[in-house]
Structure 1
Amino acid sequence: MAAPETSTAAVPTLMTNNSLRNAFGGVLSFFILLLIGVLAFSIRLFSVIKYESVIHEFDPYFNYRVTQFLTKKGIYDFWNWFDDRTWYPLGRVIGGTVYPGLTLTAGTIWWFLNSLNIPLSVETVCVFTAPIFSAFASWATYLLTKEVKGAGAGLTAAALLAMVPSYISRSVAGSYDNEAVAIFALIFTFYLYIKTLNTGSLFYATLNSIAYFYMVCSWGGYTFIINLIPMHVLLCIVTGRYSSRLYIAYAPLVVLGTLLAALVPVVGFNAVMTSEHFASFLVFIVIHVVAFVYYIKGILSPKMFKVAVTLVVSVGLCKLICGPLYSDISACITSGIALSQAFDVFTRSIKYQLPGVSSTNELDAGETSSATAEAQNDAVKTEKTEETSKDRPSRKSKKKEKEQVEKPSTKAKAEKKRLLALPLEASVIALLLLIMLGAFYVVHCVWAAAEAYSAPSIVLTSHSHDGLHVFDDFREAYGWLRHNTDVDDKVASWWDYGYQTTAMANRTVIVDNNTWNNTHIATVGTAMSSPEKAAWEIFHSLDVKYVLVVFGGLVGYPSDDINKFLWMVRIGGGVFPHIKEPDYLRDGQYRIDSQATSTMLNCLMYKLSYYRFVETDGKGFDRVRRTEIGKKYFKLTHFEEVFTTHHWMVRIYKLKLPKNRIRGKTKKSKSKTSSKRSGITKKNPWH
């Protein structure tokens, strides 16, 4: 009697040890997740530490400007905002053309912090939004991977996502773009879908639709979700893994998610009218047909179901022969039931090849679709039990047979584990190698975050033998425009710099990075490609007062307007035929040296870039093109230089006022007679 008492007393002790182990594991996992969040946030702060709190690239400046407007004017003015400072004189509707998720998120964070008397500026909130949501994305990755594989795999996946360089490039501090919050929304939506699939809960299905709605608000990449999930659902149906949980996970997402997506102004009716959404609707119809077939199969006995299938197939064939197959709704139901039966035969061999599925553990959709199916299966089992009660073996003999079957299988499993186990030396070496690879990966990720992705495009750096050089010419130029020009002045530049000009200089621009009007961009490209007088007339017709060009020939900045000039010529020539690209080419190349064409040397872009450039070194050597310029000494007639930054990277010119032309009668008559004699008339620069 002592042995049973000892075994009985050992059970509570074992349960206590398991509880303590689980509690300790939960606390440890929590602190590891907290450290992963700190890692994801801190590894993205190198740009702030090395430079300052500044927004990067071009598109983030538009998002920053929109967020400023939202915090000042409110949500209603934001939806109805017509921006007259861009695409002059056309303007642009902002509220209905942007994905508002990023703006609303940052605006909500700013409002919440200010309500707690934490007075942060809008720019600071925008700079740190991406690092904050990178921590959220790491935690969402943990939840997703834990739901699929386990807590250990979830922690590993979260740590990898926190420092993977490809994600750092889109979420570094200052990268205030849509991906800053959209990656988190993407991962969290997939997590809720898997959670709903595993639990069959309508609560998680509703949360999944809300997460999908946030993804739609944040980024146009939401179409990835609404196409990938239907593919998974269709694959489950094809492999015979349909269940009521699959229906609950998918159907509310399509219905509620589509209705919510249509509420976003930039999406609107595109949620039901564009081709990228059709796959979800097609699978939605398929899953309802399959669900209906399984429902009928659940409420009928197997014999009655076979009779019904035979009858329906016969009627369907008759309809096919005698009339249109899909003439009414009944024909659709007929074809669905008939196809499902053929489908079961087709997928039976596939189903048994899948891991975890065998002939003794077949996934019966009738058992999982409804309670009535379970009752029907019980009834069938009872009938079979009554029929075979005479031939049923005794309980003892059955137990012996079971033990005889289980013993070889247990031994086989143990033998398999023994064969798969590595020797101790190999295990230690593999573990050390894995640790070394992980350490090298961490070093690489930190280097990528600190060097490759930390430099903002608006502030440039250069390393040389005498140390680090910082080029802050862009902000210098925008600051000059903001403080030395009138508020209503119009600034013309290539479209790359439109967002930065409106956000930092607060001046009206002709084109910007939205690029929605090709003709307007072609007009600016034509002006830059035209001679000085023709360009002046084009800009004057657009009410332009200042022209901004980016020039990198002095410091070796390759992304300047001379290197982008070929696109100005091509886009301008695509709309205005008098701009011909061969006129700017010599031997198939754009050249600015002594071999350059006269059209190239006399165009406005060349003159505004290289005006007084020879005064820098006496030779006019372009460090980007690595050659001396062809035309070194020239004067500007219709433009005047008003500002050039310290490193000559940004140059600003002002259009001269038109001269007052006072003509006397004598001069007028002389000019008429001379023009008649010569027969020369002025050419229209547009033709």
Structure 2
Amino acid sequence: MLLKERLVNGLKAFGRLRIQTGHASIICYSTLLLILFIAFTIRVLPIRWEIPTGDVRLNEFDPYYQFSLTNKMVRDGLLSPYLENGGQGWINYQQWYPDGLDMSKSLPALPMTAAILYSIISWLGVNVDLMTFCSIFPVIFGTLSCLIIYFVGKDIGGKAIGLFAALFLALAPSFLQRTALGFFDTEVLGIVGLLAFILIFLRAIDEHRSLRSSLIYSVGAGAALAYFIGAWGAAYFLVDLAVLFVFVLILLKRYSQRLLFSYSLTFGLAFFIATNIPYISIGYLTSGAVIPVAGVFLLLCLLEVLRHNISARTKVMLTSATLVTVVGGFVALWQLGYMENIAGKFISVLDPFVRSASPLIESVAEHRIAAWGNIYFELGLGILFFLAGLYFTLRNPTNRNVFLLLFGATSLYFAASMVRLLVIFAPAFCLLAATGIIGILKPFYTLLREAPQIAVKSKRRIVRVSKEYSGAVLFLVFMLLVANFAFAPQNGGVPRVYRQAYSPLTVSAASLPIGGENLPEPAQEWLDMLSWTRNNLQTTTVVCAWWDYGYWLSVLGNVTSLADNATVNSTQIENIGFIFMTSEDKAMTMLEKYDAEYILIFTTLSLAQSSDGNYYVVQPVGFGDEGKWSWMARISGQARDRFVQEGLLSAEAAWTDETDFGEYSNTTGRFEWNDAGRSSTIYKLLGYAKQRWADVSGIDYGVVPDEAGVEPTYFKQAFFAGLDLKPAEASAKYGGLIPIVALYEIDWASYYAAID
């Protein structure tokens, strides 16, 4: 009996340890888990195109740069990219030949985090290759961001705002794109760090928390900010946003010792850690974006001194001295040149038209100004709730709401300035839209929960909105959300989730803008080309191609490339543009400088029926180099004076942009090349690849090219991926598009024989 009593008492004591949760909490956390499941699932679904190939690759181009760093850290140690060559750093000579790419000038947080986590799961016995792990990495951290924003929203206005914010972020187009399968780039950790800092810093300055709690949160905020600085170059935005927020609090007369304490500890710890991160030196503290941190710190110190009983004269002297120190220090650092580089980067975002002077920057789609269509695609009908959120936060200007307003206003401006920065605006939009929805629904929801009113005769009776109207408002908001996320009118009626789930990785789609039913299986053309170079060429073989394909060639193709998306050497990109836009003879002169053995182009074709219906005409579409050559002309055209001075071109033969090679004809609806255009290397390489496809796969279908191709003099067919793609097969697999990846071997023997 004694043993039985002890057992019963033990079970009762254990039962008292259970977590006390009500129905509301169960519903809340169940909803949150469902949102996280949705966020994870829609990001991982593109894996359906990777399974048939047996490998999971990365998406787009830049992730391969981060993969190279991660692979190096896994093989040789976390600090190996920064300590090789006697501390000079790792130079990757497979990229940007002959100088190579200095990989030590890279932010370390993303590759280090991935390398550490990969080592842990490998130690636990999980057998997965590194590229597959890096491909799934953004899916996991994108889902984590949705979890963190829930807590940010909860602190701002309750669990409901947190849930809506998490749902909106899970489905936000720009954020979804950059945290989907394979997008292993800096934004993945950047948004995690941004949201973590916002959550912790706003708790650190909360007057309702104990000093011990503020101390812990300030340390956490400093660590989160340091991690963010080491993860993403956009950390300057968050640093200045926090400084602007504290400055606005000062203007609103909300200074407190807690604010000074938390601000000082957060930024002091963050910069102490950040300046000890590889690649980030002490010079970071004198950059133009960081100097305001010191200025606001001095203002906080001044306000703390002014709180004490000192004479008016002393107050004036201290205030004047502080202002002179801040302004004088700013001017001195500017004159000494510490702020020029960073100022230039910020000016290019503040004034986007500054970027238009550089064709190289403008050739990158994500660096262009966001059109209204981009912004509407991002917001959809949610813009109504976003505007409502601005109204409700203005009505209740708490510290958190002030921060949210500043976050929303600044990130919206930067997003409008540059398409890529829409990903920073996404969290702000989600929080404000969630605030707007709850602000709209709260009074109607409260009315629905009220007990029925007993009718009382009165001369003065307040007219109340009936519960039927409240229900109608709730239903209307629900329908707007359904229309925005399920039907997405800004996306042609196709749900965003459906679009993302049916968007393959770029290399698995052969760089074609297709997916879903138009791509029932992975496109093999680029995969075949990269497999061929990997198996048939040496690592040191130099392949000349436009910079878009550099990462694919060096990482997946295992050959040496001349340029890639790092765009660290604009002169070399100008030279590559020169190779493609000049004649073969002059192109060979430049290729000789780079020891190039092969040259690669990518073209996309389609079939059109002739006017008499007797045959088909194969013509370029514009998704390959036939759509990029105009940028080659503009970028190389910037260096026309240099080419003339170096004796590569005569002044008469030099060009400025694509108009020197022909003009667009409204009659034919296509670009009409002139003599200079027809003698260019790119014209011959594209034309011959098109002619070869017509000869090999189109001959049985009566296919002829729109313009006959001529075999180049010094470039011989090495391997053309896509030549065996029949028209019927292209229609069934690629929606009628025909991708050709053409690799030419450079015939140096013929060239040297011709010039002797």
Q: Which residue pairs with 2:109 in the alignment?
A: 101
Change (3 A) 1:48 1:597: same
Change (3 A) 1:488 1:327: closer
Q: Which residue pairs with 1:178 in the alignment?
A: 186
Q: Which residue pairs with 2:263 in the alignment?
A: 250
Q: Is the 8 A contact 2:633 2:658 kept in 1?
A: no
In the TM superposition, residue 595 of structure 1 has moved relative to its aligned partner by: 4.4
Give me the TM-score of the superposition, normalised by structure 1: 0.72
For residues 11-55 of structure 1, what are the alpha-carbon distances to aligned partners after superposition, in whole Å with 9 as ceiling and x for unaligned? xxxxxxxx9985554444333332222221112122113444331
Q: In the alignment, is residue 137 of structure 1 matched against residue 150 of structure 2?
A: no
Root-mean-square deviation (CA), in Å? 3.7
Q: Is the 8 A contact 2:66 2:185 kept in 1?
A: yes
Question: C-alpha distance in 1, partners of 2:518/2:154?
Answer: 51
For residues 461-489 of structure 1, what are the alpha-carbon distances to aligned partners after superposition, in whole Å with 9 as ceiling and x for unaligned? 65899985753311111111111112221
Match of 2:744 among 628, 653, 660: 653
Q: Which residue pairs with 2:505 in the alignment?
A: 456
Q: Which residue pairs with 1:501 in the alignment?
A: 553
Match of 2:296 among 262, 272, 283: 283
Q: Is the 8 A contact 1:583 1:600 kept in 2?
A: no
The residue identity in structure 2 corresponding to 1:280 is: V
Change (3 A) 1:629 1:264: farther
Match of 1:439 among 451, 471, 482: 482
In the TM superposition, residue 658 of structure 1 has moved relative to its aligned partner by: 2.4
Change (3 A) 1:534 1:239: same
Give me the TM-score of the superposition, normalised by structure 2: 0.66
For residues 347-393 of structure 1, what are the alpha-carbon distances to aligned partners after superposition, in whole Å with 9 as ceiling and x for unaligned? xxxxxx99699xxxxxxxxxxxxxxxxxxxxxxxxxxxxxxxxxxxx
The residue identity in structure 1 corresponding to 2:93 is: D
Q: In the alignment, is residue 189 of structure 1 matched against residue 241 of structure 2?
A: no
Question: C-alpha distance in 2, partners of 1:512/1:465?
Answer: 32
Question: C-alpha distance in 1, partners of 2:318/2:485?
Answer: 63
Q: Is the 8 A contact 1:60 1:175 kept in 2?
A: yes
Q: Which residue pairs with 1:367 in the alignment?
A: none
Q: Is the 8 A contact 2:485 2:496 kept in 1?
A: no
Question: C-alpha distance in 1, partners of 2:519/2:325?
Answer: 80
For residues 589-613 of structure 1, what are the alpha-carbon distances to aligned partners after superposition, in whole Å with 9 as ceiling and x for unaligned? 7999894211111111111111153
In the TM superposition, residue 312 of structure 1 has moved relative to its aligned partner by: 2.9
Match of 1:610 among 679, 683, 687: 687
Match of 1:293 among 292, 306, 323: 306
Change (3 A) 1:279 1:91: same
Question: C-alpha distance in 1, partners of 2:45/2:193?
Answer: 25
Aligned residue pairs: how many?
Answer: 545
Q: In the alignment, is residue 644 of structure 1 matched against residue 720 of structure 2?
A: yes
1:220-619 map, 5 Å? 220-294=233-307, 296-297=308-309, 305=310, 308-309=311-312, 311-312=313-314, 422-444=465-487, 447-452=495-500, 454-460=503-509, 462=514, 468=520, 470-554=522-606, 557-575=621-639, 576-577=643-644, 578=649, 579-580=654-655, 581=657, 584-587=660-663, 595-611=672-688, 613-617=690-694
Question: C-alpha distance in 2, partners of 1:442/1:570?
Answer: 40
Change (3 A) 1:282 1:661: closer
Change (3 A) 1:662 1:465: closer
Larger radius of gyration: 1
For residues 65-102 of structure 1, what are the alpha-carbon distances to aligned partners after superposition, in whole Å with 9 as ceiling and x for unaligned? 2212221111132223221111111112102x212221
For residues 92-121 of structure 1, what are the alpha-carbon distances to aligned partners after superposition, in whole Å with 9 as ceiling and x for unaligned? 2102x2122211121122111111111111
Change (3 A) 1:220 1:594: closer
In the TM superposition, residue 130 of structure 1 has moved relative to its aligned partner by: 1.1
For residues 398-456 of structure 1, what are the alpha-carbon distances to aligned partners after superposition, in whole Å with 9 as ceiling and x for unaligned? xxxxxxxxxxxxxxxxx9xx969631110111222223333334424793233257222
* SS of aligned partner of 1:563: helix
**Unpaired segments ≥5 residues, structure 1:** 1-18, 298-304, 333-352, 358-414, 622-626, 664-681
Q: Which residue pairs with 1:46 in the alignment?
A: 45
Q: In the alignment, is residue 112 of structure 1 matched against residue 120 of structure 2?
A: yes
* SS of aligned partner of 1:154: helix
After TM superposition, the structure 1 stretch with the greater mean CA deviation from structure 2, 261-270 or 541-550, is 261-270
The residue identity in structure 1 corresponding to 2:98 is: P
Q: Is the 8 A contact 1:189 1:211 kept in 2?
A: yes
Question: C-alpha distance in 1, partners of 2:323/2:242?
Answer: 28
The residue identity in structure 2 corresponding to 1:72 is: R
In the TM superposition, residue 264 of structure 1 has moved relative to its aligned partner by: 2.9
The residue identity in structure 2 corresponding to 1:58 is: F
In the TM superposition, residue 61 of structure 1 has moved relative to its aligned partner by: 1.6
For residues 216-239 of structure 1, what are the alpha-carbon distances to aligned partners after superposition, in whole Å with 9 as ceiling and x for unaligned? 111111111111111111111111
Question: C-alpha distance in 2, partners of 1:194/1:355?
Answer: 16
Question: C-alpha distance in 2, partners of 1:419/1:150?
Answer: 30
Q: Is the 8 A contact 1:593 1:629 kept in 2?
A: no
* SS of aligned partner of 1:552: strand
1:20-39 map, 5 Å? 23-39=22-38
* SS of aligned partner of 2:742: strand
Q: Which residue pairs with 2:58 in the alignment?
A: 55
Change (3 A) 1:316 1:569: closer
**Unpaired segments ≥5 residues, structure 2:** 1-17, 83-88, 330-393, 399-457, 489-493, 608-619, 699-703, 726-738
Q: Which residue pairs with 2:401 in the alignment?
A: none
* SS of aligned partner of 2:128: coil
Question: C-alpha distance in 1, partners of 2:752/2:325?
Answer: 80
* SS of aligned partner of 1:550: strand
Q: Is the 8 A contact 2:108 2:278 kept in 1?
A: no
Q: Which residue pairs with 2:385 in the alignment?
A: none
For residues 257-309 of structure 1, what are the alpha-carbon distances to aligned partners after superposition, in whole Å with 9 as ceiling and x for unaligned? 12222223333234212211122221111111111211x24xxxxxxx5xx22
Question: C-alpha distance in 2, partners of 1:154/1:212?
Answer: 22
Q: Is the 8 A contact 1:170 1:180 kept in 2?
A: yes
Q: Which residue pairs with 2:436 in the alignment?
A: none
* SS of aligned partner of 2:205: helix
Question: C-alpha distance in 2, partners of 1:594/1:149?
Answer: 57
Q: In the alignment, is residue 164 of structure 1 matched against residue 172 of structure 2?
A: yes
Q: Is the 8 A contact 2:714 2:750 kept in 1?
A: no
In the TM superposition, residue 582 of structure 1 has moved relative to its aligned partner by: 6.7
Identity of aligned residues (%): 22
* SS of aligned partner of 1:214: helix
* SS of aligned partner of 1:553: strand
Change (3 A) 1:47 1:270: farther
Q: Which residue pairs with 2:611 in the alignment?
A: none
Q: Is the 8 A contact 1:613 1:620 kept in 2?
A: no
In the TM superposition, residue 128 of structure 1 has moved relative to its aligned partner by: 1.0
Q: Is the 8 A contact 1:529 1:568 kept in 2?
A: yes
In the TM superposition, residue 138 of structure 1 has moved relative to its aligned partner by: 1.2
In the TM superposition, residue 586 of structure 1 has moved relative to its aligned partner by: 2.9
Q: Is the 8 A contact 1:181 1:218 kept in 2?
A: yes
Q: Is the 8 A contact 1:47 1:450 kept in 2?
A: no
